[in-house]
Amino acid sequence: MMEEEELEFVEELEAVLQLTPEVQLAIEQVFPSQDPLDRADFNAVEYINTLFPTEQSLANIDEVVNKIRLKIRRLDDNIRTVVRGQTNVGQDGRQVKEITRDIKQLDHAKRHLTTSITTLNHLHMLAGGVDSLEAMTRRRQYGEVANLLQGVMNVLEHFHKYMGIPQIRQLSERVKAAQTELGQQILADFEEAFPSQGTKRPGGPSNVLRDACLVANILDPRIKQEIIKKFIKQHLSEYLVLFQENQDVAWLDKIDRRYAWIKRQLVDYEEKYGRMFPREWCMAERIAVEFCHVTRAELAKIMRTRAKEIEVKLLLFAIQRTTNFEGFLAKRFSGCTLTDGTLKKLESPPPSTNPFLEDEPTPEMEELATEKGDLDQPKKPKAPDNPFHGIVSKCFEPHLYVYIESQDKNLGELIDRFVADFKAQGPPKPNTDEGGAVLPSCADLFVYYKKCMVQCSQLSTGEPMIALTTIFQKYLREYAWKILSGNLPKTTTSSGGLTISSLLKEKEGSEVAKFTLEELCLICNILSTAEYCLATTQQLEEKLKEKVDVSLIERINLTGEMDTFSTVISSSIQLLVQDLDAACDPALTAMSKMQWQNVEHVGDQSPYVTSVILHIKQNVPIIRDNLASTRKYFTQFCVKFANSFIPKFITHLFKCKPISMVGAEQVRWT
């Protein structure tokens, strides 16, 4: 209880009493003291230098420390005695000042002694640690050095503000010299174990080198980098010899052997050297990454030399094997050592019934590609990125013109086959139960487009994608012209080029040639196909923009091609309207030429009305059923027919000859 009261008393004094410099000076004059520990501006460094003026005097450090500790204990006893002696004394101001003076002096002394002891301990550790570090370095005791060096460096940080003292500065310089010597010595050991010229040292690594790596972790980072560089260079030296440009195995047709070689080397590394390097160095990944850089440079050089020998099949074979290898690296390594953050990422778009929402076609895709209602399926999350994508395969990009030219040729042949198949097989058979189905060739075309787009985006997302887009545009227009517009039916009375006015030219006084059921169904099929192509071309544009580099997005524009398909749709609707319109013309002509004055009896329905209704009942149900999947275009057909027929009917109505009043009376009363 007494000790608690004493402690509270001291704390209250410390909180209340704040001595000014003038008061402190007065106290020193009243109670003079020559002891440096009693000074307010006590300097621990000067005090230590006084106690140990030379290095030889450090031999008595233990004795000095014991004396200081004894003095601290005495000071603590004095403080305790003074406090207890003053606890029950009155609150006389003068006595309080005396107590405060003693406590203040004792507190300064204790704090200064504690700082001195701590500094002396650090100095002792530093001096002894430097001596041990130098000795262990000479004996190559890297395991002990790794633990000691870090401790010495930590202690040296405490003396950073004392570097002006010659002895401290000398110790610091000795530490730096030891670090330099360690770095040079470790590099020499690795050079001896793994010489730049010659074969690898047989057998596994020694414990000395393993411990040396731990020391390198503490030294200048350049030492670690040099070790890694030398080891990887020596490890890949055999590869550069085996796959020289003049070797048969260096060409693209044997590219598998390159990747098989590095896989064997990685296994060999894990078995022999996996425990030598710290795990955080990621040496296996570093070896693989350096192999990729070397391989990319070597392949680029040999392909420039033998560019004329590169064929599309050979190029695609090499690219496929390379991307497979990059996928292998992504599965095995994290990519933490990659410094090039610009490598393109490989995406795996989710499956869907539309060709441009899939990366790999499924057997059901070609059938489902014609189902326009299922084009916009919800997208699934993207697959994880591959940080190694393009690390080797980038070298093939300058030669992708071979691939683009091949796709140009293949698409040209595909369009020609579509034309030949249509001529040989004829238009699709009418089937009103299924509605207006799209032509099968359009699904084949977009499935092929999808394969090309995915494949090219895996090879490059730069200029080759723009070149492929240009090819896509070319054959979208050709498909619209040759397959769609080129197969719109012609009437038996038309000749020459395909024009809407020539197709349905009215022949006055003779029966107008109408489209057959098969021809009406074909027009509806072409209209439905054009609508599908229009919607899918828009999706194609969106997918191309997703896959191409951001800087090239503005160069992707398929608006012209979409306008072409819109034109085909408009032409098809106009053909249907003019066919029905022309079929009704003879009835309207008959109405205008009818001798109304000779009419003696009025029936339920005039013959010309019966004829018009007959033609409408023949055509409209067929068109309606074949445009069941595109109702908006059936509506457009109805509106356009009404807008064409009604004005024409009114015009012919005004052409009718007026009847006399007598005739009118006769007709009315009859």
Q: What is the per-residue pLDDT across 87-144, written as a single tens digit (0 to 9) for each?
A: 655 555 566 767 777 788 777 777 777 777 776 766 666 666 677 777 777 777 777 7
Q: Are 428 and 437 in contact (CB under 8 A)?
A: yes
Amino acid at 631: R
Q: Are 82 and 118 in contact (CB under 8 A)?
A: no
DSSP state of 454: H
* Residue found under tokens 């002096």: 105
Closest among 132, 6, 145, 142 to 79, alpha carbons compared: 6
Number of C-beta neighbours around residue 141 at 10 A: 16
Q: Are 274 and 284 in contact (CB under 8 A)?
A: yes
CA distances from 441 to 420, 446, 612 (A): 11, 9, 37
Q: Are 96 and 112 in contact (CB under 8 A)?
A: no
Q: How many CA atoms lie within 13 A of 621 on its CB side?
A: 8
Closest among 550, 347, 552, 348 to 464, alpha carbons compared: 552
The pair of structure tokens assigned to 642 is: 């009404």
Residues with Cβ within 8 Å of 658's Cβ and at least 6 positions away in sequence, in order, are 596
Give φ, ψ of 490 to 5 degrees.
-115, 150
Closest among 389, 522, 368, 390 to 450, alpha carbons compared: 368
Q: Is 314 helix (H, G, I), strand (E, B) or coil?
A: helix
Residues with Cβ within 8 Å of 58's Cβ and at least 6 positions away in sequence, in order, are 52, 124, 127
Q: Are 568 and 530 in contact (CB under 8 A)?
A: yes
CA distances from 437 to 428, 433, 563, 565, 626 (A): 9, 10, 21, 16, 8
Q: Are 564 and 475 in contact (CB under 8 A)?
A: no
Beta strands in 8-128 (DSSP E): none
Total residues belonging to the chain: 670
The pair of structure tokens assigned to 184 is: 């040079």
Q: Are 82 and 103 in contact (CB under 8 A)?
A: yes
For residue 449, the model assigns a pLDDT of: 93
Question: Rounded to an integer, what distance in angstroms lies between the CA atom of residue 210 and that of residue 283?
Answer: 13
Mutual angle of helices 255-273 and 312-332, in 10-degree steps = 20
Question: Rounded to an integer, what distance in angstroms lies between the CA atom of residue 6 and that of residue 13?
Answer: 11
* Residue found under tokens 């390198």: 216
Question: Rounded to an integer, what distance in angstroms lies between the CA atom of residue 118 and that of residue 114?
Answer: 6
Positive or negative, the Cα torsion across 388, 394, 396, 400? positive
Residues of 367-389 as b/e, b for ≥16 C-beta within 10 angstroms?
eebbebeebeeeeeeeeeebbbb
For residue 637, the model assigns a pLDDT of: 78
The pair of structure tokens assigned to 288 is: 């693989």
For residue 462, the model assigns a pLDDT of: 86
CA end-to-end span of the chain: 140
For residue 513, the model assigns a pLDDT of: 57
The pair of structure tokens assigned to 538 is: 């828009």
For residue 517, the model assigns a pLDDT of: 81
Helix (H) or strand (E) holding 138: helix 93-138
Specify burial of residue 164 (Cβ count, 10 A radius: 0-12, 13-18, 19+): exposed
**Which parts of the chain register pLDDT below 70?**
1-19, 30-31, 38, 40, 85-95, 97, 119, 121-129, 150-151, 155-156, 158-159, 162, 196-206, 339-384, 429-436, 491-513, 592, 594-606, 657-670
* Residue found under tokens 């038309």: 494
Q: Are 200 and 234 in contact (CB under 8 A)?
A: yes
Task: Find how far residue 141's CA is from the centre of its chain.
Answer: 47
For residue 493, the model assigns a pLDDT of: 41
CA distances from 595 to 68, 154, 246, 586 (A): 143, 122, 99, 16
Task: Find how far residue 160's CA is from the centre of its chain.
Answer: 46
The pair of structure tokens assigned to 609 is: 């009305």
Q: Is 268 helix (H, G, I), strand (E, B) or coil?
A: helix
Specify burial of residue 644 (Cβ count, 10 A radius: 0-12, 13-18, 19+): middle
Question: Rounded to an integer, what distance in angstroms lies between the CA atom of residue 667 and that of residue 600?
Answer: 5
Q: What is the CA angle 236-237-240, rounded to 5?
A: 90
Helix (H) or strand (E) holding 390: none
Q: Are 137 and 178 in contact (CB under 8 A)?
A: yes
Question: Rounded to an integer, what distance in angstroms lies between the CA atom of residue 536 and that of residue 446?
Answer: 8
For residue 214, the model assigns a pLDDT of: 79
Task: Find how far residue 120's CA is from the centre of its chain.
Answer: 57
Question: Rounded to an integer, what distance in angstroms lies between the CA atom of residue 460 and that of residue 468?
Answer: 11
